[in-house]
Amino acid sequence: MFATSFTAMQYLPVPILILSSQKTIVLANEAMGRLLGMGLAASAVAIDEATNALAIADRLRGQTMNDVGIEILQEGSPMWISWDDFLNGILDQASKARNDASQSKQSCLSPFQTMAYDVSVEVVISPNHETIAHPTALKDKLFGSDINPIQANLIISVWPFGDEQYFSLTFTGSCPGAHAPHQPASRRPISRVHTFAGTGALASGTPSASSTASSRSGRSAVMTPDPFVSQGPHFPPHAPPSQSAKPSAPSVFRKRTELKDAILYSMNMPAYAMWKDESFGVPNKAILRLLPESTEIRSLDPREFLSQYKIWTEDFQRELATDEIPILEICRSGKRFEGRRVGMRHPKTSAKIIFDVIGQPIKDEKSGETLGGLIIFKDVTEYSRRIAAQTEENERQFLYACIANLGPVMVWITDSFGSHEWFSQRWYDYTGLTEEECLGEGWRNAFHPDDLPATEARWYHSLASGEEYITEYRCRRHDGDWRWMLGRAVPFYGDDGAIVKWFGTCTDIHELVEARQEARRAREKLQRVIEHTKISVWEVNEQRKITFLEGYQMWNNKELEEPKDILGKNIYEVISSYHPNNDIKIIREPMERVLKGESTDEVFAMRTDGDRWYRTRLVPQYNQTRHGGIEGDLFVDGVVAVSIDITETRTRQAELQKQEKEKTKLLANATAAKEASRMKSQFLANMSHEIRTPIAGVIGMAELLLDTQLDAEQRECAENVQRSANALLTVINDILDLSKVESGRLDVEEVQFSISVVLRDVNKMLSFAASRKNLAYESDVQPEVESDLRVMGDPGRLRQILTNILTNSIKFTSEGHVKLSATIIDESKETVTVQFVIEDTGIGIAEEVRPRLFQPFSQADSSTARKFGGTGLGLAISKNLVELMHGEITLDSKTGSGTIATFWIPFNRAPASNKESQFIDMAPIPDRLQSDASVSCGSSELESPPAAPETRGVAPGKPPPAAGLRKPSVANSISEYPELPKEERKNIHVLVVEDNSVNQQIALRTISKLGFSVDAVWDGNEALSYLLNESSSNHPPTNIILMDVQMPVMSGYDASRIIRSQEPFKSHPLIRNIPIIAMTASAIQGDREKCQRAGMDDYLAKPVKPRLLEKMLVKWAIEGNQR
């Protein structure tokens, strides 16, 4: 049945083509041949119609629609879509329509019925003679030279046959006046196809299946619409297409199409156009030349076509993906761009090519709708290369300018003859010269005259030889300062090998030259030092060879002239050669230990043949491994040695060893002497305690006796007892002072006092003693001193010095006078120096015995002690006190002509702010004058202020009070407190802690007479028990404790510590703050401090005077109530 249909189709007047599923022609009728211009003129060849139809079908079989010159139109213009994609889209749509129809109840097809699917589209027919022509013999007879394009409607029917799909293409006229008995389901043109994918190619541009296609069965399966006649030639054609009378007059459509193609193809710049849905693309010849030679264009798919290009970023660092190609961007965005740079490689040479890409959207002139895009590739490789080269050159020039003008050196350029053509700005800034002054030969203006000759000689030598120019010279700065420069220049050669220019620099190396000169001077100094100090510095490498030697005294002998004589030689061979008497082990063993890294410091001594001794110190010389530019571990690369002549040192050491033995002996003697002195001091302390204790009893009992009703004879006896005891006490006090001097523990206070007050007190006391011997006592005090001169010092020690010297003057003067004078001999803002002079008309002192008068226990002669008495300690103690106060003392005397004793002491001025402050109380009157003073003044004790309770200065090196003990309160001076009425004294209970029954009895009676309540215990343990007992009328609470310090069972020190630091005493409100007053019979240096460290508040030395005891009790009665 189908064969019959195909035979009948040959004679249909409507042009028909049958395409297979591969979209190639399998059948064409004679009308199709005439449409394509394949008909034969009657006069041309005598061939029957059957042969003609068969020839047409055979010639078209296997051709594609593009091969025969049929293109799809839209609104009169070719549509950029391939026939394969278009027909695949129709197949997909037909398949969908069949599926929909098979599900419909109204669609009931018999087994002999098929379903067809029709689509209508406008086409233009431009026969491709090169493709469809008959063999060459008939070509010219079958075709004319020019055939006009024919525009027609094409109806495409899709129908299945077996397992394949076939396409029937029926061509009808496109003139609006034509008509047919049956209109196809769709005669509207396809507007666009979005993608190259088969299934969706037609869906978006054509009506739906229900409106664009019809399903038919039986005979109507293949539609044959009636022909109609176009405005041009008759359609269907009865003869081949008309030919132009003139070949040069093609149709307007063809002109437009070919001109558009010619414009694109004739561009020498690569270009590519693409429809906006990316379904169709048109490259020009220039861009095709960029494809690799082996590339075959197998498909018109744009994406596949574009993927054959390797497009890179401008710097060729990254290859662009297909989606990043600029044509796709312009199609998607529809926006123009330019200046986009991409890179490609030449298909033959692989050379890099840089393109400047311009993207231009293609728009419909009427509607403005974007139809597609066009990109043009402009080759800017050479331009980019030149721009890059120019940029590099500019950067290089800029770099040169920066280096020349901003760098630390001055740059200059000369011609081949040495004439300067250019200087950097730094040269002009440095020299202060102008360009006119420098160019040519003007550079000499800045050079130091002394350096110019040598510089010119080197410069001319370089110009003549072409060698590098290097020199150092001084160049004048703009401020006139000459600074050292390093001048360097190198030649620049032309293509012919001749020097065309010289490029030079001037570098400021002034500090480097000065450092070099200083290093040279330092080296010269070091060499002189090495020569004078007899030092040798040498170095040995790993091969045990001497590599460095400076100062060769150690190696000097008759055979060695210079250090170079031993450089490079083995150290052990040198030692064996020059010093054969030395055991080589002396140096080998320490040297090997250092070289092996076993030691970092070795010292040995070695004697040379000349009996000189050298001590050598060996230290390692380190180096560091290096592999591939990376620093590695340290290793010992050699040994540095320093040898010094120690001959004199060894000699001195021998002498010092001898002296050390003698010193050891002396130290042993000194230690023995110190121990003897310590034992003597301890003996004196013990004797002081043992002697003062009974003397205190004698003096105390004598005073109690004198307070009773005695007749004249009894009173005289009692007074003699008191006077004798005081004289004995004076001797003891002098001995104690001497022990302080010898032990270095004699110290002075630094308090504010008035010198005039001290002088008045001394004058009052000593004038009476002088009057008893019928001596005139004179006092001559400078008005500045008399007018209350206030200074800082120790008033008690000053009075002790004055009384010692005045006592001696009175003692050794039988007639005449004794005179005391005081004057200021020097003063400043901080100090005032006062000179004291004691003059008498006594027996005088022989010149030969004067030097020993200031020594302990020394007098003028042995008869002096027998005649005048005394211990000979007064002057020795006075001299030590004066020196301790930073003063000096002298004696001027002749036998029979009297004596003048002079001493001066520098005092610090008293602070002005303390001018109105209370003065410190003066020290008590010395014991040796107590008897005389009491007789002369009646009661000097009452008129002379007692010892101050303040702490005296502790000697340097003394330990502070013991930790944990309460620091004694600093009480006011005794004289500051008013008298305490008898009614109040009865309420003050005093506890006396004393182990000596006589002293205890004296204390109880004296305190009772003073109006105080008193009780006594025998040691410290009983005192603690007494304090803890409950209070009663017979046992009132204790207000003041008088504590002896040396007692059996428990001493006063221990008892005081317990009261101040242990429970329950330290927390008891009535016990913890009880004033404790120490009473000691030792009265040596350190007793007061020891008492304070134990927690005692004040200090009294035995024997205690009743009046002083009264003031002490009154003071602490008032102080105790305030705690």
Residue 920 pLDDT? 42
Specify the fold of 747-943.
Heat Shock Protein 90 (3.30.565)
Mutual angle of helices 930-937 and 712-743, in 10-degree steps:
140
Start-end of H helices in 812-929: 862-868, 874-884
Tokens in use for 88?
Answer: 């695949």
Q: Return the exposure string of 424-443: e unless at least 16 CB atoms fall within 10 Å of the residue's CB, then b.
A: bebbbebbebeeeebbeeeb
Of the candidates 284, 298, 280, which has an alpha carbon nearest to the alpha carbon of residue 78? 280
Tokens of 431: 């020299």
From the number of C-beta atoms within 10 Å of its C-beta (0-12, 13-18, 19+), residue 503 rates as middle
Give the closest residue to 240 by CA, choosing from 37, 472, 478.
37
Beta-strand relationship, 751-754 and 790-793: antiparallel
Token pair listed for 1048: 């059996």
For the chain, domain boundaries = 2-221, 267-379, 394-511, 747-943, 974-1122
Task: Look up residue 976 and give its amino acid.
Answer: E
The Cα 25–Cα 21 span in angstroms is: 10
Whats the size of the chain, residue-wise?
Answer: 1123
Residue 585: left (phi > 0), alpha (psi -120 to 50), or beta? alpha
| Residue at 637: amino acid letter | D
Q: Is residue 152 within 8 Å of 125, Cβ to Cβ?
A: yes
> pLDDT tens digits for 990-1007?
999 999 888 899 899 999
CATH fold group of domain 974-1122? Rossmann fold (3.40.50)
Contacts 24+ apart (CB under 8 A), 549-558: 551/527, 553/645, 554/608, 554/614, 554/616, 554/643, 554/645, 557/609, 557/610
Task: Name the burial class of residue 1033, with classes exposed (0-12), middle (13-18) and buried (19+) by CB atoms within 10 angstroms of its CB.
Answer: exposed
Q: How far apart are CA 341 and CA 354, in angstroms?
A: 7
CA distance linking residue 546 with residue 578, whole number of Å: 14
Q: What is the predicted pLDDT for the residue at 387?
A: 81
1090, 1068 Cβ separation under 8 angstroms? no
- The CATH number of the domain covering residues in 267-379: 3.30.450.20
Is 565 strand, coil or helix?
helix
55 φ, ψ (degrees, to nearest 5): -65, -40
CATH of domain 394-511: 3.30.450.20
Q: State the alpha helices, DSSP H only, in 744-774.
A: 755-772
Domain 2-221 has CATH 3.65.10.10: no
Query: Alpha carbon of 820 to those of 313, 358, 778, 922: distances in Å?
Result: 117, 126, 6, 19
* Strand segments (E) across 708-847: 751-754, 776-781, 790-793, 817-827, 831-840
Q: How far apart are CA 870 and CA 671, in angstroms?
A: 32
- Backbone CA torsion sign across 143, 144, 145, 149: negative
Determine the angle formed by the axes of helices 1020-1028 and 1052-1061, rounding to 10 degrees. Answer: 30
pLDDT of 988 = 94
Give φ, ψ of 1061 to 5 degrees.
-125, -5
The pLDDT value recorded for residue 217 is: 36
- Residue 979's pLDDT is what? 79
**Is the dihedral angle over the CA atoms 540, 541, 546, 548 positive or is it negative?**
negative
**pLDDT tens-digit readout, 232-257:** 445 666 555 555 444 445 556 566 66
In angstroms, the CA 800 to CA 516 distance is 72
The pLDDT assigned to 123 comes to: 87
CA dist 473 and 508 (Å) reads 10
CA distance readout (Å), 1003 to 558, 704, 1012, 1080: 96, 10, 11, 13
Beta carbons of 695 and 899 less than 8 angstroms apart: no
Q: 499 pairs with which residues across the strands? A: 493
Q: H-helix or E-strand containing 843? A: none
337-359 burial, b if ≥16 CB within 10 A, otherwise e? eeeeebbbbebeeeebbbbbbbb
Instruction: Using alpha carbons, list the distances in angstroms from residue 120 to 123, 191, 225, 670.
Output: 10, 12, 12, 142
Q: Are 966 and 1061 in contact (CB under 8 A)?
A: yes
Task: Give the burial class of 69: count Cβ atoms within 10 A of its Cβ; 0-12 exposed, 13-18 middle, 19 or more buried.
Answer: buried
Q: Are 158 and 252 in contact (CB under 8 A)?
A: no
Residue 632 near residue 640 (C-beta atoms within 8 A): no
Give the whole-angstrom CA distance, residue 293 versus residue 560: 87
Low-confidence ranges of the chain (pLDDT < 50): 1, 40-47, 105-113, 133-145, 175-233, 244-248, 860, 862-867, 869, 914-973
With beta carbons less than 8 A apart as the criterion, state whether 894 and 847 touch.
yes
Residue 870: left if φ>0, alpha if ψ -120 to 50, beta else—which one? left
3-state secondary structure of 313: strand
Distances (CA, A) of 423 to 401, 402, 408: 11, 13, 14
Cβ-contact 384, 355 below 8 angstroms: no
User: CB-side exposure of 667: number of CA atoms within 13 Å?
Assistant: 6
In the numeric block, which tokens belong to residue 302?
């744009």
| Model pLDDT for residues 744-796, shown as the tens digit of each residue | 666 778 889 999 999 998 998 888 889 988 999 999 999 999 988 899 998 88
The Cα–Cα gap between 438 and 665 comes to: 86
Number of Cβ atoms within 10 Å of the Cβ of 687: 14
Q: What is the DSSP letter of 43?
A: T
pLDDT at residue 989, rounded to an integer: 95
Strands 817-827 and 776-781: parallel
Decide whether 267-379 matches 394-511 in CATH topology. Answer: yes
Please give the order of strands across the beta sheet that includes 1098-1101: 1013-1017, 989-993, 1040-1044, 1076-1080, 1098-1101
Whose tokens are 């009535």? That residue is 1070
* Residue 1061 Cα distances to 397, 962, 1086, angstroms: 92, 11, 22
> Is residue 282 within 8 Å of 273, Cβ to Cβ?
yes
Strand-pair category, 989-993 with 1013-1017 = parallel
The amino acid occupying position 302 is: P
